[in-house]
């Protein structure tokens, strides 16, 4: 968008997402009087500073930043050796799982390939992780180092004066207005995607390679990609769920349950594709993110599939199965953080651990009632099974995997007839779960 300055000059207030970083330069002068930013701990500290600097005119900047960030890299380690070690251990686990399914692509794998790239990645990663531990302080310190004048704002009083209370009804509810506008715009965007004209695979490939795309082109591409992912009609509700990371949760749930027989086929297919793209070598962080075997294996080892099969079971912190799950999980906090990416506090209760695990597949817990046992109040929970239409998606994925084992992620390509994979038998029976101990001991995790 080359005329951004001219477009923005028509507005007094512009709201932007945090993704407005490098590559955008706003050079208009004498129009905006200030820049305001809210950093909730998702972006890295340097990304926050980049967002503040998009407007080049030296006007006051106002910033609120969370004390701590939570979007860490890898297992959250602030030690380069520890981060690299945990990454390589997870790589070895994923490779052994693939070798169990007779995949020979990693027989001559060189773990030291592009060591300098991994070292560079680790250096940047630990910087991000360290800044997340003191997020607000890191941002302010970096701004001061750039030469900016920092003026802390005193905490506002929580008491409301009689005059402000009297004036409050006269003020418009800006928050409600902004929320309403945002929801309306988002609904129209989702509706436009659902109503976009369908593409076949050939049209999709041609349009995707086009450098300059119109808004209608982008809508058609998004609709095709949603159809490719889920294999069900694209609706407004489906677009919303996909924006809320529904796909990642469904993939884990599918391969943990109905699609388990095709998990090894899926990981082999993805590994073969990565090796082909890398000329026989892989960048280990990318490879680890592409594999599901270790994650599914951990969830299985902790007993999550058993609990999912017992839909009417009442759950308490005193449940022996939950206590065993929590003990195993807390003893392997480092390995779980490395493989799945979720952190568990040392004092987590069995219900808290179960809640974190269920969240990975889009499930939740519902409090059924309270009980009193030996003068102690205990809450009784039940697993709340989502009614979000995932059964239809699973049915489509399963039909694809039965015909082309491990290819359910590329379902649209297959039914379009443009891609013909090599059909193999399911290999899950040979896919043995390794213990959590294969990841090694915890190391320097913050």
Pair 35, 121 in one domain: no
Pair 372, 387 in one domain: yes
- Residue numbers of the domain that contains 194: 190-244
Residue 300 lies in a domain: yes
- What is the per-residue pLDDT for 277? 87
Pair 275, 345 in one domain: yes
Pair 356, 397 in one domain: yes
Pair 110, 136 in one domain: yes
Residue 164 lies in a domain: no
Mean pLDDT throughout 275-291?
89
Residue 155 lies in a domain: no
Pair 211, 316 in one domain: no
Pair 259, 235 in one domain: no
Question: Over the chain, what is the mean pLDDT?
Answer: 87
Residue 161 lies in a domain: no
Pair 298, 406 in one domain: yes
- Alpha-carbon span 94 to 292, nearest angstrom: 9
Pair 382, 424 in one domain: yes
Residue 82 lies in a domain: yes
* Residue among 365, 355, 223 at smallest CA distance from 302: 355
pTM passes above 0.95: no
- Alpha-carbon span 347 to 350, nearest angstrom: 10
- What is the per-residue pLDDT for 55? 92
* Residue among 356, 349, 355 at smallest CA distance from 382: 355
Domain end call among 66, 88, 116: 66
- Alpha-carbon span 34 to 210, nearest angstrom: 38
Pair 303, 388 in one domain: yes
Residue 183 lies in a domain: no
Alpha carbon distance, N-terminus to C-terminus of the chain: 41
* Residue among 370, 375, 391 at smallest CA distance from 317: 370
Domain end call among 179, 212, 244: 244
Say how many domains are in the chain: 3
Pair 309, 430 in one domain: yes
Pair 263, 364 in one domain: yes
- What is the per-residue pLDDT for 411? 57
- Alpha-carbon span 346 to 349, nearest angstrom: 9
pLDDT tens, position by position, 406-429: 998 765 455 444 454 555 555 544
Residue 146 lies in a domain: yes
Residue 94 lies in a domain: yes
Domain end call among 50, 66, 82: 66
pLDDT tens, position by position, 163-195: 555 555 545 677 788 889 989 999 999 999 999
- What is the per-residue pLDDT for 164? 55
């Amino acid at each position: 968008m080359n005329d951004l300055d001219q477009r923005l000059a028509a507005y007094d207030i512009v709201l932007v997402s945090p993704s407005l970083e490098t590559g955008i330069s706003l050079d208009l002068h004498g129009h905006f009087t200030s820049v305001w930013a809210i950093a909730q701990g998702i972006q890295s500290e340097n990304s926050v500073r980049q967002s503040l600097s998009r407007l080049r005119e030296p006007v006051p900047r106002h910033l609120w930043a969370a004390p701590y960030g939570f979007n860490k890299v890898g297992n959250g380690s602030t030690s380069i050796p520890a981060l690299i070690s945990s990454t390589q251990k997870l790589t070895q686990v994923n490779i052994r799982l693939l070798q169990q399914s007779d995949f020979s692509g990693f027989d001559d794998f060189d773990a030291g390939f592009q060591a300098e790239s991994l070292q560079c990645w680790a250096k940047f990663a630990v910087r991000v992780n360290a800044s997340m531990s003191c997020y607000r302080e890191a941002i302010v310190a970096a701004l001061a180092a750039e030469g900016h004048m920092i003026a802390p704002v005193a905490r506002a009083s929580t008491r409301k004066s009689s005059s402000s209370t009297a004036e409050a009804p006269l003020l418009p509810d800006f928050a409600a207005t902004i929320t309403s506008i945002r929801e309306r715009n988002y609904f129209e965007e989702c509706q436009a995607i659902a109503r976009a004209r369908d593409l076949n695979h050939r049209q999709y490939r041609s349009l995707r390679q086009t450098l300059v795309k119109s808004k209608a082109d982008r809508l058609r591409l998004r609709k095709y990609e949603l159809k490719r992912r889920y294999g069900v009609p694209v609706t407004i509700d489906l677009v919303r769920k996909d924006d809320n990371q529904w796909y990642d949760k469904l993939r884990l749930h599918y391969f943990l349950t109905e699609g388990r027989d095709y998990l090894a086929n899926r990981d082999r297919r993805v590994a073969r594709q990565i090796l082909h793209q890398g000329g026989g070598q892989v960048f280990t962080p990318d490879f680890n993110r592409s594999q599901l075997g270790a994650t599914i294996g951990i969830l299985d080892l902790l007993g999550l599939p058993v609990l999912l099969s017992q839909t009417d079971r009442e759950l308490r912190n005193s449940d022996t199965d939950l206590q065993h799950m929590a003990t195993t999980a807390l003893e392997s906090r480092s390995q779980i953080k490395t493989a799945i990416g979720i952190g568990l506090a040392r004092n987590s209760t069995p219900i808290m651990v179960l809640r974190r695990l269920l969240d990975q597949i889009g499930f939740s817990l519902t409090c059924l009632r309270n009980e009193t046992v030996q003068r102690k109040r205990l809450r009784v929970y039940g697993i709340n099974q989502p009614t979000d239409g995932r059964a239809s998606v699973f049915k489509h994925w399963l039909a694809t995997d039965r015909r082309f084992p491990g290819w359910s992620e590329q379902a649209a390509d297959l039914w379009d007839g443009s891609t013909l994979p090599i059909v193999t038998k399911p290999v899950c029976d040979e896919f043995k779960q390794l213990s959590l101990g294969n990841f090694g001991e915890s190391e320097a995790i913050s």
